[in-house]
Amino acid sequence: MIVCIGAGPGDLGYLTRRGGELVQQADVVAGFDAVVDLVRPLIRADAEVITMGYKDQTAKLADVAVHHHAGKRCVVVFMGDIHFSGFQYLERVEAACGHPVETLPGISSAQVLASRGKVCFDETTFVTFHRRGDLAPFQRHLVHVLQDGRNAIVIPRPWDFMPKDVAAYLLAQGVNPAHEVEVWERLTTAEATWRGTLAECTAEFSDMSILLIRSLVPMPSQLDDLPR
Ligand SMILES: C[S@@+](CC[C@H](N)C(=O)[O-])C[C@H]1O[C@@H](n2cnc3c(N)ncnc32)[C@H](O)[C@@H]1O
């Protein structure tokens, strides 16, 4: 009676058909204000909408759990895909319900960025800093990703580890300043893009931004049967 749904990166056209059906059928639709707003056109007029922010999320999710335990069809909507930078919120939903809950994948901002930047997942690692707690293991991992010659798709953390802080950290760790970087804001809605090198990445960006840090040298194709 409760499903967590990835709502996609912003434009409703990127919400999966199954996600849309579950929102339309729901008696209760819950989530952070901005994410609920994305799916609002699909919410039934008689459905209960429970929006929340960082401060009241525990109390609001407890209300959702009450509806769930009363047999109402509940959906909790997540930004992008739940499985990238969404698990801490999922933990909160499961803690409120007292058991594991079903998840429905959505299209992540990372997937849209991979498409805009034409990089494949095989050669790219996703790292998020948008999480509570110690960032140090994730920071070290990002250095290793770049040292391994892979691209990195990086979600910054508002507001203490934004793109300029990511770049400054990497430079301080001895990462080559010539890495090409792209910062994309508000993918699929009011998109804006910045391109430059790691050394040049010093500007301020909004909290709806995601970075692509390209490997210094693209991985060679291992196809040997194509005419060149
Ligand atoms: C908590 S993370 C959740 C990411 C989400 N689960 C996903 O798969 O895209 C939220 C951050 O993702 C990034 N983000 C999400 N949607 C975005 C979009 N449409 N354009 C750019 N960045 C986005 C922003 O950095 C935002 O602050």
Over residues 117-137, the pLDDT tens digits come to 999 999 999 999 999 999 999
The pLDDT tens digits for 186-215 are 999 999 999 999 999 999 999 999 999 999
210 CA closest ligand 1 atom index: 22
Predicted confidence band of residue 104 (pLDDT cuts 50, 70, 90) = very high
Helix 163-172 with 136-147: angle, nearest 10 deg: 70
Rounded to the nearest angstrom, the distance between the alpha carbon of 187 and the centre of ligand 1 is 9
- 109-213 to CATH, choices 3.40.50.1000, 3.90.550.10, 1.10.260.40, 3.30.950.10: 3.30.950.10
The one-letter amino acid code at 122 reads: D
Q: Is the CB of 124 under 6 A from ligand 1?
A: no
pLDDT at 150 over 80: yes
Q: Is the CB of 10 under 6 A from ligand 1?
A: yes
- The residue extents of the domains of the chain are 2-104, 109-213
The SS3 of residue 210 is: strand
Residue 126 near ligand 1, beta carbon < 6 Å: no
- Choice from 107, 109, 187, 188 to test ligand 1 binding pocket (greatest atom count within 8 A of CB): 109
**Average pLDDT value for the chain:** 97
Q: Residue 228 pLDDT more than 80? A: no
> What pLDDT shows up at residue 125?
98
Please, which pLDDT band fits residue 73 given cuts at 50, 70 and 90? Answer: very high
Q: Does 207 sit in the ligand 1 pocket, CB within 6 Å?
A: yes
Burial 103-133 (b: 16+ CB within 10 A, else e): bbbbbbbbbbbbebbebeeeebbbbbbbeee
8, amino acid identity: G
Considering only CA atoms, which of 62, 66, 32 is closest in space to residue 49? 32
pLDDT score of 174? 98
Top-tier CATH class for 2-104: alpha beta
Tens-place pLDDT, residues 17-36:
999 999 999 999 999 999 99
